[in-house]
Amino acid sequence: MTNTTDTKVYCMKCDILIHTPSGVAFTGFPAEDKFIGSTALIVQGATDRPCEVTLGPDALILNWKKATGKDARIEKIPFSTVTGIDVLSRVRGEIFTQAEIDNALLGNLVMGGVLLGSLLQAQEIYFAHVKTLKIITPQKTYEIFLPDADDWADRLRQKSVS
């Protein structure tokens, strides 16, 4: 096996790329692989906010890795324990702090080579609506902000039914 990145290992013998934190193999199809190692932000249900989310064969896998790569923590939510799946609409300001939005806005403006400093643009970003994925289990309720929350909800519903 050879390390492709810090989270991906390629087995030359088996010709398979594996997401190392979750142990889930990539399919090679972008529509499927977006459910492996997707960057997410926990809104409710865990104390550590940023993480990676993966749909495994039998569980939703939440992976927190520390900056040093040590002390990583994994939490598995078995599909059999999921009692509810929903997509919520939230104001971005409820999820992110103003400092996080300002940093992202400043980063985007500097990256684009333009420094607008527009208060209206910052307010528009702060009050924009975003979708979050809500997962309910008997023990805990999770709310997760991630790209394509609707697709994640559909896939989770399929997995939890089968």
Q: Work out the burial of residue 37: count CB atoms within 10 Å of its CB; fewer than 13 is exposed, 13-18 middle, 19 or more buried.
A: buried
Residue 9 predicted with pLDDT over 90:
no
Enumerate residues 6+ apart whose C-beta is below 8 A from 23: 56
- The residue among 129, 62, 125, 56 whose CA lies nearest residue 91 is 129
For residue 94, give the H/E element and its range.
Answer: helix 92-95
Around 127, how many Cα atoms within 13 Å sit in the side-chain half-sphere?
A: 6
Specify the pLDDT at position 127.
65
Specify the pLDDT at position 133.
93
User: How many domains does the chain contain in total?
Assistant: 1
What pLDDT, in 10s, does the model give residues 126-138? 567 789 999 999 9
Specify the pLDDT at position 92.
72
d(CA 123, CA 128): 8
What pLDDT, in 10s, does the model give residues 96-121? 666 665 665 555 444 444 444 454 55
d(CA 12, CA 60): 27
**Domain containing residue 43:** 2-161
Residue 95 predicted with pLDDT over 50:
yes
d(CA 15, CA 6): 18
At residue 88, φ and ψ (nearest 5 deg) are: -105, 155
What pLDDT, in 10s, does the model give residues 40-74? 888 888 877 888 899 988 999 998 876 555 677 88
Specify the pLDDT at position 64.
86
CATH of the domain at 94: 2.30.29.30
